[in-house]
Amino acid sequence: MTRQLAERPEDVPAVFAERFNHGDAEAVAEVYESGAVFVPEPGTPLTGQRLDAANGRFLDLRLPITVRPRHVYTTGDLALLIVDWVIDGTDPDGRPVHIQGTATDVARRGRDGYWRYAIDNPFGVRTEPDGQESP
């Protein structure tokens, strides 16, 4: 069973991580509002099906993500989340994987009262890949 959506903005990363770690692409997609933006690598904002496909490539690694919120700043129905995260382990092909970042994310409370990502920017202010290939 997957965790319900976040009732507080500071819970969005944990909800995402739990759903991600279960490998459930549909459950992960529910953590994003309609029209959300995902930036799987610096300078590459994606929406819609391209967002889902990019998240799918991370899920295909079949490795857990660990998240640690650093700061959460909220005003009304918007929140800025600064979150340290890491995906570490060996992928299904036996290759070592270590991907990490400090996300700068924006979450918004929906009409249903739940918080979802409006912008998921996992590499924050990084302007170039750090040598680790994105999935």
Other CB atoms within a 10 A radius of the CB of residue 53 amount to 13
Residue 32 tokens, joined: 């994003």
Q: How far is CA 133 from CA 40, 60, 77, 129, 130, in A?
A: 11, 14, 35, 7, 8
Is residue 133 scored above 80 in pLDDT? no
- pTM of the full structure: 0.90
pLDDT tens string 49-95 = 999 999 999 999 999 999 999 999 999 999 999 999 999 999 999 99
Average pLDDT over residues 2-14: 92
| pLDDT attached to residue 131 | 45
Burial of 26 (0-12, 13-18, 19+ CB in 10 A): exposed
